[in-house]
Chains A and B, each alone.
Chain A
Amino acid sequence: GAGVSQSPSNKVTEKGKDVELRCDPISGHTALYWYRQSLGQGLEFLIYFQGNSAPDKSGLPSDRFSAERTGGSVSTLTIQRTQQEDSAVYLCASSYPGLTPTKNIQYFGAGTRLSVL
């Protein structure tokens, strides 16, 4: 597709359930980021993937959060045993890799709005 695609757009779940959020990056973008947007914390980085390298998981808030990226393309963010404080919009972004700033613009998907009841 032309842009970053995320699914589902909305997800309502019960406390304690597991959820999976999907991100399909722009074709050719090897760098992929997950961010979380919440009222209390603003926009915060969660995890970064670059090609086949080990991901940077430094932003994951707890061990209930995990992510994988299969085949260097689609990524899945999994939240286990969801809590009410996990309610937020989860945004995915992709870009070309490296430090070349002219190329390293992150393009965002529309996000998944997660509501934990």
Chain B
Amino acid sequence: AQSVAQPEDQVNVAEGNPLTVKCTYSVSGNPYLFWYVQYPNRGLQFLLKYITGDNLVKGSYGFEAEFNKSQTSFHLKKPSALVSDSALYFCAVREWSNTGKLIFGQGTTLQVKP
């Protein structure tokens, strides 16, 4: 069965510092990986995806993610955090089935302090 794990419930970082939100996955076959962000009382917003190709994927709002096959990781990164980046972040893997449903990690709350 496919699964995704986000080992940190919360990540705290100072504004202007780099941030990393961790994600590891377990799949059989090639993974299709996604990051979504959720602001309070809002739905999930798509940030970026990894399908194939370059291990460094660039997405919205200056975020990027690094795919590492040997470590089965897909960490979300940003070189310089903003207070407005404070939100709940979800890593997800697309299931290999006709539905293509997303299997989500538990979510990580990112707190960026001024």
Using CB atoms, name the residue of chain A closest to B106: A42
Q: How many A-B residue pairs have CB under 8 A?
A: 59
20 new A-B contacts at CB < 8 Å, known A45-B99, A111-B43: A6-B43, A33-B101, A33-B102, A42-B106, A43-B90, A43-B102, A43-B104, A44-B104, A45-B101, A45-B102, A45-B103, A50-B98, A50-B99, A56-B99, A91-B43, A104-B94, A107-B46, A108-B36, A109-B43, A110-B41
Contact B94 A110 (CB under 8 A): no
B49 lies within 8 A of chain A by Cβ: yes
List 26 interface pairs A-B (beta carbons < 8 Å), by A numbering: A6-B43, A33-B101, A35-B102, A42-B106, A43-B90, A43-B104, A43-B107, A45-B103, A48-B101, A56-B98, A56-B99, A59-B101, A91-B44, A95-B100, A99-B100, A101-B49, A101-B51, A104-B100, A105-B46, A105-B49, A106-B102, A108-B44, A110-B42, A110-B43, A111-B42, A111-B43
* Contact A108–B45 (Cβ < 8 Å): yes
A106 to B100, CA, bound (A): 10
Across the interface, do B43 and A4 meet the contact criterion of CB distance under 8 Å? yes
**Is A102 an interface residue when CB atoms closer than 8 A count as contact?**
yes
Count of residues in A whose CB is under 8 Å from the partner chain: 28
Chain B residues, Cβ within 8 Å of A42: 104-107
CA distance A107 to B98 in the complex (A): 18
A31 at the interface (CB under 8 A from B): yes
A4 to chain B, nearest CB (A): 7
Near B by CB (< 8 A), chain A positions 71-110 give 91, 93, 95, 99, 101-102, 104-110
How far, in angstroms, from A108 to B47 measured CA to CA in the complex? Answer: 12
By a CB distance below 8 angstroms, the chain B residues around A50 are: 98-99
Contacts of A110 in B (CB 8 A): 41-43
A35 to B90, CA, bound (A): 14
In whole angstroms, how far apart are the Cα atoms of A59 and B101 in the complex? 10
Nearest-CB distance from B28 to chain A (Å)?
Answer: 16
Closest to A99 in B: B100
Which of the residues A31, A93, A101 comes within 8 Å of B32, measured between beta carbons? A101
Distance in angstroms from B111 CB to nearest chain A CB is: 19
